[in-house]
Structure 1
Amino acid sequence: MSATFPLVGVSACYQTIEGFPSHTVHDKYVDAVANGAGAVPVILPALGESLAERVIESLDGILLTGSASNLEAALYDSNTVSEGPFDPRRDATSLRLVALAIQRDIPLLAICRGMQELNVALGGTLQTQMDKDPDFAVHVATDSEDLAVRYGARHEIHFTSGGLFTKIVGRKSARVNSLHTQRIKDLSDDLEIEAKAEDGVIEAVRLPQATFVVGVQWHPEWEFQRDDVSSPLLKAFGDAVRSRCRARAAR
């Protein structure tokens, strides 16, 4: 495919569906890349480090998706207890993608589990089992089967003054959805906080020395067309991706 079409790799999960091992990506992530960022989504199966090495030079951006699975605690702290489901194939693939993207200054948007992967890949740690702590109940997904309810706004976040989000969104705070049972505990020394919830949970981060490496704990891919935070975030990601594509085509 011509380099005039910006390509964004979208991380897949590895799970069994009706007895068949499968690589899966929710449609909302594909739609966010295609219609929110204005790029061509390329699904990246969870095949481990070797896939990341082979595909990275063909990509203009990477989107790390959210997932019902959790990172295994052994990846960042042998003393921490974490609960499944786990997805070691995705862990291996995504953590290597982060490293390669940063080395090559490839734009990266990391969502929910993806933000946790970004932090762990850069030496940070996670707090697990938030669903067992009533103080964090607002962050955990509801039991509703109605997706509009599950992905509805749950709590307020506040953007860091002078940060990326205050520039691209043009406001100091927002209400976001929340569906996670793990959160950043120790932030990587390489990352800066872009937003926090009122209870102190880190909701967005950025790698300052990169052109665009951003992680968010919420799900901007959900109905982004109607959200005045998600839409400009995806556009900013798309702008960085297109810039990378033009530079790659000019080589």
Structure 2
Amino acid sequence: MIDIPVFAQQVFKESAAVPVHDRPLIGLTPRFMKEPGFSDGESIAEVQMDAILAAGGIPVMMPLTDDDAVIDRYVEMCDGFNLPGGHDVDPRNWGEEPRDLARLNPRRDVLEFKLVKKVYEADKPLFAICRGLQLLNVVFGGTLVQEIRTLPAPASGHTYWSHIADLTAPAHMVEVVEDSLLYHALGSEKCIQANSYHDEALRKVAPCLSVVAHSTDGIIEGAEISDRRWMVGVQWHPEYGWKYSKADCMLWKSFIDAARTYRSSRL
């Protein structure tokens, strides 16, 4: 059973009433696990699946594959896609050397680069979280900062927020562009509290992305592709935040509602 706070039950009330056979299938890309003495593994964090289930979706884990036919089948089958957080995106994709090869997951990069392009062409809802936002930016021609602490101070006499913090509590404020898709998805909130766990960030923004949220130290916290039905990325972790943040609940609801609307349109 999923422990859903009372305030979240109210947000997800309508979604929870939708019959299971009408709920959208949400494709998820997995993390790679390697343990000595055991077969390599692929998995999805329980908090990620719980958020999707609570909001009225059905999670479907994809394999780490580079097979276009298999990826195409998932794109055809699923009604929306969620790119979770995880390893660093390989900086060689934008012409830099990686700081630590152990922080990379090349197989996941290959899958997600192909998947994002296919989902974009199919115009299906896509929700990108942390690494997901960073990858979305790189796929379409943007670059990343590998370590926030190497950036110049955001302003005289100021320092950056600690962007690696406890995921179960707010870490800093995020300011959202009014009338953006993200703004409406968050319940028309112009400023929210968000958790944080990342030391990379967007640097050059891809031409097709619109930046729609910043932390108060200037780090990009949200971006979207406005010519798609619902393609949004955030730098924080709403898969943890929905248990204590109504705004994060609203964000999940907006994504799942978009996927369910897409599902209804093709039945």
> Above 0.5 in TM-score?
yes
1:60 matched to 2:79: yes
- Given the alignment, which residue of 193, 197, 209 partners 1:175? 193
Instruction: Measure, in 1, the Cα distance between the counterparts of 2:258 and 2:243.
Output: 19
- Given the alignment, which residue of 145, 151, 160 partners 2:168? 151
Instruction: Measure, in 1, the Cα distance between the counterparts of 2:210 and 2:97.
Output: 24
Q: Deviations over 1:19-55 (max 9, x none)?
A: 431102110111111112x111001121225342332
Amino acid corresponding to residue 72 of structure 2 in structure 1: E
Amino acid corresponding to residue 141 of structure 2 in structure 1: G
SS at match of 2:34: strand
Amino acid corresponding to residue 252 of structure 2 in structure 1: L
Contact 2:195 2:241 in 1 (8 A): no
Instruction: Measure, in 2, the Cα distance between the counterparts of 1:49 and 1:99.
Output: 14
How far off its partner does 1:139 sit?
4.2
1:160 matched to 2:177: yes
How far off its partner does 1:56 sit?
1.1
4+ runs deviating over 6 angstroms: none
Instruction: Measure, in 1, the Cα distance between the counterparts of 2:121 and 2:107.
Output: 22
Contact 1:12 1:44 in 2 (8 A): yes
Contact 2:128 2:136 in 1 (8 A): yes
Q: In the alignment, what sits opposite 1:25? A: 44
Amino acid corresponding to residue 47 of structure 2 in structure 1: K
Q: In the alignment, what sits opposite 2:235? A: 217
TM-score, with normalisation over the residues of structure 1? 0.88
Structure 1: gaps (5+ residues):
143-148
Q: Where do residues 1-251 of structure 1 align in structure 2 (5 Å cutoff)? A: 4-19=22-37, 20-36=39-55, 38-50=56-68, 51-67=70-86, 69-76=87-94, 78-83=95-100, 84-131=102-149, 138-142=161-165, 149-168=166-185, 169-249=187-267
Amino acid corresponding to residue 195 of structure 2 in structure 1: N
Q: Percent same amino acid among aligned pairs?
A: 28
Contact 1:13 1:45 in 2 (8 A): no
**Superposition RMSD on alpha carbons, in Å?**
2.0
Instruction: Measure, in 2, the Cα distance between the counterparts of 1:17 and 1:91.
Output: 21
How far off its partner does 1:95 sit?
1.3
How far off its partner does 1:133 sit?
5.9
Structure 2: gaps (5+ residues):
1-19, 154-158
